[in-house]
Amino acid sequence: MLEKDVVYESTLDHDFLDEIYALPGGQEIKKCIQCGTCSGSCPVGSVMDYAPRKIFSLIRAGFRDEVLSSNTIWFCASCYTCAVRCPKEIKITDVMYALKRLAVKEGKTRGRKAVVLSKNFVKMVNKYGRNHETELMTRYILEAELFNAFHFIPQGWRLFSNGRLPLKPHRMKNLDQLRRILKKVDELGEI
Amino acid sequence: MSERIGVYVCHCGTNIAGKVNIDEVVRFAEGLAGVELVRDYKFMCSDPGQAMIQKDIEGDLIDRVVVASCSPLMHENTFRKVCERCGVNPYLFTMANIREQCSWVHVDMGDSTAKAKALIAAAVSRTKFLEPLPKREVSINPRTLVIGGGIAGIQAALDLAEAGKEVVLVEREPSIGGHMAKFDKTFPTLDCSACILTPRMVQVGQHPNIKLMTYAELDEVNGYVGNFTVRVRNKARYVDPELCNGCGMCWEKCPGTRVPRKGNVHEKLSLGPTTSIYMPFMQAVPAVPVIDSGTCLYFQKGKCRVCESVCERTAIKYDMEDTFEEFEVGNIIIATGFRTFDPRVIKRYGYGALPNVMTSLDFEIMNCAAGSTSGAILMADGSEPKSIGIVHCVGSRDKHYNEHCSRVCCMYALKYAHLIKEKTNAEVFDFYIDMRCFGKGYEEFYDRLLGEDVRFVRGKVAEVSNVPVNVVEEGKLVISVEDTLVGVVRRVPVDMVVLCTGLESSVGLAEVATMCNVSVGKDGFIIEKHPKLGPVSTATDGVFIAGACQSPKDIPDTVAQASAASSAVLSMITRGTIEIESATAEINEKKCSGCRICNNLCPYLAITFDREKGVSVINEALCKGCGTCVAACPSNAIKAKHFANEQIFAEIEGLLSV
Amino acid sequence: MKYTYYPGCSVGATANLYQDSINVVAPKVGVELEELQDWNCCGATAYMSVKELMSFAISARNLALAEPFHRDVVTPCSACYLVLNKTNHYFAEYPELRKKLGKALEAGGLSYSGNIRVRHLLDVFVNDVGPERLSELATKKLAGLRVAPYYGCQIVRPEEGFDDPDEPESMDRLIEAIGATCVEYPMKAKCCGASLMGTQEKLALKLCRELLANAVRADAHCIVTLCPLCQMNLDVYQPKVNGLFRTKFNIPVIYFTQLIGLSLGIPPRELGLHRLAVKMTKQMKDVLKGA
């Protein structure tokens, strides 16, 4: 979180805005008028380090570290309410995704459970071509919530006892094709 | 050929020189056939620039002129005048637009330099084939048409009428007065709207130089500057204005209802009588009622005729029909005003679904002393609100609706805050993005309101809901907003919400604009001739604009623009005549087969058929040189002067030669 | 009416009750769903958070597979709908992305030209089958059943779709058509917390509490939804909401296809209703019986 102190320009990253600006969906962020519609509409804004509007002013000012280390980007539930209401039509949810990826790239994700979930999700897809919810939940709990594992038992049981937690994954057949596509993307480089 | 053309390349400061290599262009132009000399200068339109051309002509070095600079809309006239001053026919001059169509729109210097060369080659090539044309002048009819009877139209009409000129003022509503007649107080001085407007309305109604046509709409405009023919449709009001004395018996007895009599306070808001025969408000000019045939029992069910039976002057005429009237005017002032944004489309603000969410116009009418609540601020159930939220920028500054700032909302919102504080004990919350107090006395008004304990919250309201999350919110309208200065989301429960709806161009403005041959921008407002130097004129000579038809405006700016428009018209009238384009069409009688195809195609009705000679004839005074007939003539008998085939072909060849 | 069906991963697992009902209801209303052979996961929001182009690429593979059939792709899952739809929109909007996706698909021997329309199953029920037809088919009108229609987020946002992003009403029309009553439910397009239920449980539970509380306050017998994640959060986590906030919610959360199935006279078991975590209440059963 931002410390209350005088901030010297030399400590700020003035290229940060342009970096975000260059990402797909980031083009409109320079147009933000700080009206607060996004924060006022956000269902989880109250628990974020900085609600979306403030994230935009931090980006603009060059507070790279504060933005990428904030919980904000991981608390976004992708409900898109801000994005459809933004009077400047800024694709706010896309910007949040972009910030997530940047944070992952720069390793600023310590203690972020959402990253564990996302990474395991990607693993599932790359492994089976489809998500295997049972395995995903198990992996996630083991990795992120080991000491809370008992906490998840009632929900797990409710699903299992109602036949909603299959043990075997559904695999797709032509997994090879999917992997070739992903490999090509890797060569091409992300956007 | 013996033409000696002078080419003048303008730098336009860095506007052109910053993107076009001038030296290269000059060298190129020097090599073109027919070019006698090439010069370049920082600003060709300046006195020294014009003097260069003048010196070359007077020294008999050249006899035709090409200026490569900006758009002809900008300076064609300037350079034509230079030619004329030194005895060269102005139609021997061509302008190459290397600014708007070149340096301003290209990024690469090489590209724009190449394009500049092509445009100059085209202009030079065309200029060789130009022919001198005689000067044409038309007289200006001193009568003026003013479209719209709001404060802009009223001001413009009175200015002209007081100067002794005739005015026809056309208003589509039953009375003049416009939006201003619906307001109680005006910001920032809080003077009473009716007190300052009514005398002017009366003056319009009584002025011998003003022909007032209310409940009438523009139907057709023909002609050109100084000589427009206008047709107006008088809508049937079913009351004879000659006989009616405005006694009011009819609406007192009328059993029909135009505004529902049942329902809550907000649904019944009205300034005038709520009956089917009504006056829009009591100070209406003319003081003649209208029958709303959509709700009138006689028109709907064939029975009633109460108004007819109580009218001592026998002024009620159910069989009245729309009539058309045609007249001639020299100039037109468009003053059609605005409409307010309909917030129903922003569902999260609840207008139309949640009681006690109102628009600014509803709120104005409620505050009006002559209105149905006698100026009292009431909730839908008739009780007094204990708290009111004022929401700025509804439908303004928002890409989903209108991108523009509506300019007046911040100030009227402050006015509302003041009125609420004055009339009730309610707490006032004012939710704004930026407080824009730009006019004379406006910032001072804001300062005053800050001292009146209005709770200002900087943040655009996210939503208005009726879903409580605690006891205090039960039965309230809850405003969710980020207080951006504090950095927290607040839920503010209030009794009433006023949405400060933005300003849009009025209904039907696009049709009026088309009739008058002026353009409308993507914001829906009329495009002025020049955003800075021509704010009251348009690209069409003789058509002027005043007030909110150009952009959202407050009353002082509207009145100023209306006076500016009328003064521009007066200057035209005083001049008496105006020079018009000589580029008209011409029929070669030998080639004309008399097929008459062109006769009906001409949009200006300038072509008639000469039976004796068996050929079509063009009335030069009416011809605008649009070229429609030229393209349509199957025997190639019509020539567009200044746009003749050989001139156009030469231009194309020049363009492609690079 | 024939469509290419993209089921998505959830309906094979936690949302299998959704699939149960689709299997029996779709044929009865004349909707023929032919499953896209060898489809892969759309990537959902989680993939997008780690790799963007890859996320678009795996999503585009499905569209490429579907294109030769020249039929609309229909999915019952809001997240799949959003992701496939977004890929489609961005494919058209960003030429750079389009180029890269083209190359990636080529590596898999596929191509996509952008001519597939992606639709949610609700869209098909509302606009292709229509409330009138459903009303005719409903042999057992659900008179007296009070329903809170819950749309969630990703079916109405962010792309301009077939309904309003703040106040959707298309499912309301279906519910009314089969005789049930829609209660006033202003929360219909608010967020349930989605995958935050895994990572920020308390926060998601709080959002679910509001959704449940408002349905109960409006006297609804059940909440009807169309999204696997919304259903799981509101259904499976309902006891947990009660535990955390000391509430006593006991309101079934069912899929719109299950509700329609009931009006067609299909036995609850065939519709997968026995798989609910919060079982149908006696009150709800009584109303259904009386209907």
B1 pLDDT exceeds 70? no
Touching chains, C (3+ CB pairs < 8 A): A, B
- Indicate yes or no: CB of A170 within 8 angstroms of CB of C196: no
**Of A48, A49, A73, A78, which to mutate for an interface test with C (greatest number of C Cβ within 10 Å)?**
A78
B366 pLDDT exceeds 90? yes
Partner C, chain A 123-182, Cβ-Cβ below 8 Å: 124-125, 129-134, 137, 140, 144, 154-155, 158-159, 162-166, 170, 172-174, 177-178, 180-182
**Between C261 and A15, the higher pLDDT residue:** C261
In chain C, whose CA is at the least distance from the CA of A91? Answer: C158
Q: How many residues does chain A have?
A: 191
Place of tokens 């992305």: C97
Average pLDDT over residues B56-64: 95
- Location of each CATH 1.10.1060.10 domain in chain A: 9-105
* Domain C2-120, CATH among 1.10.3720.10, 3.30.2420.10, 1.20.1050.140, 3.20.20.10: 1.20.1050.140
Determine the pLDDT at residue B216.
98
Task: Establish if C158 touches chain B: CB-CB under 8 angstroms.
Answer: no
Helix or strand or coil: residue A9?
helix
Helix or strand or coil: residue C222?
strand
In A62-174, alpha helices (H):
64-69, 72-75, 81-85, 92-105, 113-128, 133-144, 149-161
Say if domain A9-105 classifies as CATH 1.10.260.40: no
Which letter does DSSP use for residue B239 in this model? Answer: B
**Of A104, A118, A126, A140, which to mutate for an interface test with C (greatest number of C Cβ within 10 Å)?**
A118
C270-282 pLDDT, tens digit each: 999 999 999 999 9
- Indicate yes or no: CB of B466 within 8 angstroms of CB of C210: no
A50-84 pLDDT, tens digit each: 999 999 999 999 999 999 999 999 999 999 999 99
Helix or strand or coil: residue A148?
helix
Determine the pLDDT at residue C46.
86
Determine the pLDDT at residue B612.
93
A38 pLDDT exceeds 90? yes
Touching chains, A (3+ CB pairs < 8 A): B, C
Helix or strand or coil: residue B344?
helix
How far away is chain B from the Cα of C189, in angstroms, using its nearest Cα? Answer: 11
Task: Establish if C210 touches chain B: CB-CB under 8 angstroms.
Answer: yes
Q: How many residues does chain B have?
A: 658
- Where does the pLDDT of residue C133 fall: very low under 50, low under 70, confident under 90, or very high at 90 and above? very high
**Cα distances (Å, whole numbers) of residue A44 to A39, A48, A80, A100, C154:** 9, 7, 12, 17, 16
- Indicate yes or no: CB of B347 within 8 angstroms of CB of C164: yes
Specify whether the CB–CB gap between B109 and B19 falls below 8 A.
Answer: yes
Averaged pLDDT of chain B: 95
Determine the pLDDT at residue A21.
86
Residues of A with CB under 8 A from a CB of B: 33-42, 45-46, 50-51, 53-54, 85, 87-89
- Indicate yes or no: CB of C167 within 8 angstroms of CB of B348: yes
Which residues in chain A are closer than 8 Å to C81, comparing Cβ atoms? none
Place of tokens 């990402």: A23
How far the first Cα of chain B sits from its last, in Å, is: 21
Write out the DSSP string of B523-588. TSSBPPSBTTTBSSB-SSTTEEE-GGGTS---HHHHHHHHHHHHHHHHHHHHH-EEEE----EEE-
B16 pLDDT exceeds 90? yes
Q: Answer positive or negative: Cα dihedral of C106, C109, C113, C115.
A: negative
Average pLDDT over residues B12-22: 96
**Cα distances (Å, whole numbers) of residue A123 to B87, B467, C12, C58, C101:** 85, 42, 18, 13, 21
Cα B553 vs. chain centroid, distance in angstroms? 12
A24 pLDDT exceeds 80? no
Which residues in chain C are closer than 8 Å to A154, comparing Cβ atoms? 239-240
Question: CA-CA distance, B459 to C253, in Å (whole number)?
Answer: 36
Closest partner residue to B347 (CB to CB) among C166, C187, C214 is: C166
Helix or strand or coil: residue C79?
helix
In chain C, whose CA is at the least distance from the CA of B346? Answer: C166
Write out the DSSP string of B182-229. G-SEETTTTEEHHHHHHHHHHHHHH-TTEEEE-SEEEEEEEEETTEEE
Which letter does DSSP use for residue B405 in this model? Answer: -
Which residues in chain A are closer than 8 Å to B400, comparing Cβ atoms? 87, 89
In chain A, whose CA is at the least distance from the CA of C165? Answer: A84
Question: CA-CA distance, A129 to A136, in Å (whole number)?
Answer: 13
**Cα distances (Å, whole numbers) of residue B507 to B172, B341, B431:** 11, 11, 29
- Where does the pLDDT of residue A191 fall: very low under 50, low under 70, confident under 90, or very high at 90 and above? low
- Indicate yes or no: CB of C166 within 8 angstroms of CB of B465: no
Q: Answer positive or negative: Cα dihedral of C177, C179, C180, C185.
A: positive
Question: CA-CA distance, B619 to B629, in Å (whole number)?
Answer: 13
- Indicate yes or no: CB of C214 within 8 angstroms of CB of B465: no
- Where does the pLDDT of residue A1 fall: very low under 50, low under 70, confident under 90, or very high at 90 and above? low
Determine the pLDDT at residue B325.
97
Poorest-pLDDT segment among B306-320, C35-49, C127-141: C35-49
Place of tokens 């991981």: A74
B129-138 pLDDT, tens digit each: 999 999 888 8
Report the share of chain A in percent with pLDDT over 70.
Answer: 96
Specify whether the CB–CB gap between C234 and C187 falls below 8 A.
Answer: no
C-alpha triplet C14, C17, C18: angle, nearest 5° = 95
Residues 6 or more apart whose CB falls under 8 angstroms from that of B435 comprise B410, B446, B456
Say if domain C130-290 classifies as CATH 3.40.50.11810: yes
Residues 6 or more apart whose CB falls under 8 angstroms from that of A89 comprise A28, B399, B400
Q: Phi, psi (5° rounding) for residue B639?
A: -120, 135
**Cα distances (Å, whole numbers) of residue B233 to B323, B329, B360, B391, B635:** 6, 16, 32, 40, 40
Average pLDDT over residues C20-44: 96
- Indicate yes or no: CB of B463 within 8 angstroms of CB of A87: no
C55 pLDDT exceeds 70? yes
Average pLDDT over residues B512-541: 93
B237-246 pLDDT, tens digit each: 999 999 999 9
- Indicate yes or no: CB of B467 within 8 angstroms of CB of C166: no
B372-419 pLDDT, tens digit each: 999 999 999 999 999 999 999 999 999 999 999 999 999 999 999 999
The one-letter code for the residue type at B77 is: N
Determine the pLDDT at residue B241.
94
Spell out the domain ranges in chain C: 2-120, 130-290
Residues of B with CB under 8 A from a CB of C: 347-348, 463, 465-467, 469
Average pLDDT over residues C10-21: 95
- Indicate yes or no: CB of B489 within 8 angstroms of CB of A37: no
- Number of A/C CB contacts below 8 angstroms equals 205
